[in-house]
Amino acid sequence: MQLDGDIADRYRDFAAYAAGDSACFVDWAFGVADDPEVHTWLADLPRLKQQPNLVFAAARWHGAPAPGPYDGLRSVLLDQEAAVKATIRDRATQTNEVGRLATLTPVLAQLPGPISLVEVGTSAGLCLFPDRYDYDWSPIGSLAGSGGPTLTATATGDLPVPRAHPEVGWRGGVDLNPLDVRDEDAMAWLTILVWPEQDVRRARLEQAVEIARREPPSIVRGDLVDELPALLAEARRHGTPVVFHSAVIAYLEDDRREHFHDLMTTLVAAGECRWVSNEAPHVLERVTGGLEVPVGRFVLALDGRPVALTHGHGQAIDWLRGHASVLSVGPARLT
């Protein structure tokens, strides 16, 4: 039995990404990378369903102890193959990490309000409430007054610390498999997607669900490209439309990523919306350009122009030198 080089590389890349955040997932990822039998197990799945986050979550859903040794993961995968693969095929990695708002809000708060938020790949819509949290961007500054929990992110560079929360006039989104915050099974799946050692993230998720349950956003089921025009038409009635996404476009095939980039570029150029993207550097390569991005960092961009590098779960934001002015530049019809 031989190793699949592509699978091995992807799992080693994930191990590097998870380093410092989950010792369990680092161990599991390296274990999979060196295990030809598990490569064969994974090869039966579509490529997008082979992603470590999804495979590990499905195994935990079926009893793999985490934190725990690689042998526990391996046993669940091999001994409960049919059940685990059914879960992988039926579910998705809709982590809906609300901590990412600590990196998105410095951009959202600078846009002229009221803003109408349109999140593509919104999952349960937990990130549609940037105005319901306080923020601590240590050591640079903070923002209080929402009456909600505090989200924290270590900050470097000339971060434009907001003086006020974003004024949100409308909240909506689209997802292939939207989750209802009132559905206990769906929320249990979101919880299992939180990495094993991250108790703070789990507690934050519970708070975010409670916030969203008070005012469930308008979420439609469908393809993000197909549904976007109708969402923008509704959003425009309530304020400046802002399309945003975080760790979502990676789940599109390459040609769809390019199509999405072209669509957003066209919409921004026509003054139809603002565009806030927060993705791994290889996902929207034309946005990243020649930027050097450390392992584990995303590229935060406004209207296709990078403004910061961010931690994948929102724990840090590194503002790029010379990019403060980008926030005030946008489509003439919206500024």
Same domain? For 63 and 102 the reply is: no
| Cβ atoms of 279 and 68 closer than 8 Å | no
pLDDT tens for each residue of 108-127? 999 999 999 999 999 999 99
What's the confidence (pLDDT) of residue 4?
57
Contact in structure between 110 and 145 (CB atoms under 8 Å): no
pLDDT at 322 over 80: no
On whether both 57 and 115 belong to a single domain, the answer is: no
Residue 334: pLDDT band by 50, 70, 90 thresholds? very low
Q: What is the pLDDT of residues 15-27, one digit of tens each?
A: 998 998 899 999 9
How many separate domains does the chain show? 2
Distance CA 101, CA 137 (A): 12
pLDDT at 172 over 70: yes
Q: What whole-number distance in Å separates Cα of residue 286 and Cα of residue 309?
A: 15
Fill in the DSSP letter of residue 328: G
For residues 36 and 89, what is the distance between their CA atoms, to the nearest angstrom? 22
Residue 328 has pLDDT above 70, yes or no: no
* φ/ψ of residue 39, rounded to 5: -60, -45
Does 83 share its domain with 147? no
Q: Crossing angle of helices 23-33/70-79, nearest 10°? A: 60
Identify which has the larger pLDDT, 94 or 216. 216
Same domain, 23 and 154: no
Per-residue pLDDT tens over the stretch 267-317:
999 999 999 999 999 999 999 998 999 988 999 999 999 999 999 889 999
User: At which residue do the structure tokens 């979101």 appear?
Assistant: 190
- Domain boundary among the residues 90, 111, 139 is at 90
Residues 80 and 119 both lie in one domain: no
21 with 140, same domain?
no
One domain for residues 128 and 225: yes
Average pLDDT over residues 27-48: 96
**Cα(36)–Cα(328) distance, integer angstroms:** 52
- Together in a domain, 181 and 297: yes
> Which stretches of 253-310 are DSSP H helices?
254-269, 285-288
Rounded to whole angstroms, the Cα distance separating 323 from 160 reads: 10
Residue 287: count other Cβ atoms within 10 Å of its Cβ: 22
328 in the same domain as 257: yes
> At which of 37, 56, 90 does a domain end?
90
Does the structure show a pLDDT above 60 at 329?
no
Q: What is the per-residue pLDDT for 116? A: 98
Is the pLDDT at 325 greater than 60, yes or no?
A: no
**Distance of alpha carbon 310 from alpha carbon 331, whole angstroms:** 25
Q: Is the pLDDT of residue 335 over 90?
A: no
103 shares a domain with 85: no
Q: Are residues 49 and 109 in the same domain?
A: no
In tens, the pLDDT along 51-107 reads: 999 999 999 999 999 999 999 999 999 999 999 999 999 998 877 889 999 999 999
pLDDT at residue 79 in the model: 98
Claim to verify: residue 175 and residue 317 sit in the same structural domain: yes
pLDDT of residue 221: 95
Could you say which of 41, 73, 90 is where a domain stops?
90
The chain-wide mean pLDDT, for the chain, equals: 92
Domain that holds residue 263: 98-334
